[in-house]
């Protein structure tokens, strides 16, 4: 039977239609999510860029002022103080919780019985609401009936300090509370990464005469490097976006001593009603976050396993 041109073309066109449907079907399923992101994230983000160049109170029409908000920000001493607080906060969380997490995970990795119990105990503070955590520590460090006055009555006065009410201790006190809630998360994360390290590497190190410190430094750290680098980069991003514990415990006070860029943005927008200037500060936060994300991309392109 001879094949006509029409019957020869039909299978090819049918295959093309199936390929088109197969290509566009994932986008049809993603369409609701993309639409939601467009409405909730992308559109407000683009509007915030616009409002950064305006003088706006949040009510009524916005007046275009060009780069005036950014010029004011670069000449504002409060902005530089909050930026320095963000830098100090970042340095604290790049060192203290990371070292505590590595030490806790390494010690737990040597435990064979009851390890799940310790994992759970370390992780509990992280899953408790930040509002609850902040209220607990407000009560513990209360200058009237907290642990400080209680110890002072028993002859130990050196902890009787208004930790959240003094400009020289407020930022570190809030960082202590946040670290208490955060470091258990790193313990669980690093412990999971340590369990993935090949046990034969430790056996080879012991044969070569390595002690526990050599094993940790030359086997464990290289073995968990992707997880370690990823957490360091995420901590840098989170540190420049931190808001909840500072707002809950001190609201940035006293005298901006614990103020960070996020709380300054909030107070400027909703208390001072300077939404345009607050948006300019928020864009600065976005710039620093993008800087850290670009570091992540550069490390990936350099061949790092992160």
Q: What domains lie within the chain, and their CATH numbers?
A: 73-301 (1.10.3720.10)
pLDDT digits (tens, 9 = 90+) for 188-230: 999 999 999 988 988 898 888 888 888 899 999 999 998 998 8
Report cis status (omega within 30 of 0) of the bond before 65: no
CA distances 195 to 103, 144, 237, Å, are 14, 46, 27
CA distances 187 to 36, 119, 182, Å, are 35, 8, 9
Which residues, in sequence order, are bridge partners of residue 55? 63
Rounded distance between C-alpha atoms, residue 296 and residue 304, angstroms: 9
Residue 7: the pLDDT is 47
3-state secondary structure of 63: strand
Residues with Cβ within 8 Å of 102's Cβ and at least 6 positions away in sequence, in order, are 186, 190, 228
Residue 1: the pLDDT is 47
Residue 132: the pLDDT is 95
Rounded distance between C-alpha atoms, residue 240 and residue 89, angstroms: 8
Residue 285: the pLDDT is 92
pLDDT digits (tens, 9 = 90+) for 101-112: 999 999 898 887
Give every residue of the chain whose pLDDT is below 50, as ranges. 1-3, 6-9
CA angle 289, 174, 280 (to 5 degrees): 35
């Amino acid at each position: 039977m001879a094949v006509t041109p029409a019957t020869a073309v039909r299978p090819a066109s049918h295959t093309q239609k199936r390929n088109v449907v197969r290509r566009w079907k994932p986008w049809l399923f993603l369409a609701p999510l993309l639409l939601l992101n467009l409405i909730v994230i992308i559109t407000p983000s683009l509007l915030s860029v616009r409002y950064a160049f305006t003088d706006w109170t949040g009510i009524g029409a916005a007046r275009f002022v060009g780069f005036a908000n950014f010029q004011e920000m670069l000449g504002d001493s409060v902005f530089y103080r909050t930026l320095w607080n963000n830098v100090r906060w970042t340095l604290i969380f790049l060192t203290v919780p990371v070292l505590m997490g590595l030490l806790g995970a390494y010690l737990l990795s040597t435990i064979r019985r009851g390890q799940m119990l310790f994992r759970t105990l370390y992780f509990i503070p992280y899953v408790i609401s930040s509002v609850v955590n902040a209220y607990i520590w407000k009560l513990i460090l209360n200058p009237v009936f907290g642990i400080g006055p209680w110890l002072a009555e028993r002859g130990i006065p050196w902890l009787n300090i208004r930790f959240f009410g003094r400009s020289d201790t407020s930022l570190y006190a809030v960082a202590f509370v946040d670290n208490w809630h955060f470091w258990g998360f790193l313990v669980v994360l690093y412990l999971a990464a340590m369990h993935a390290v090949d046990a034969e590497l430790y056996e080879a190190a012991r044969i070569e005469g390595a002690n526990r410190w050599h094993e940790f430094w030359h086997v464990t750290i290289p073995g968990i490097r992707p997880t370690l680098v990823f957490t360091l980069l995420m901590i840098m991003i989170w540190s420049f976006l931190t808001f909840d514990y500072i707002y809950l415990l001190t609201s940035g006070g006293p005298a901006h001593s614990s103020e960070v860029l996020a709380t300054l943005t909030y107070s400027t927008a909703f208390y001072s009603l300077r939404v345009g200037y607050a948006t300019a500060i928020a864009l600065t936060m976005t710039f620093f976050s993008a800087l850290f994300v670009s570091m992540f991309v550069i490390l990936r392109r350099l061949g790092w396993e992160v």
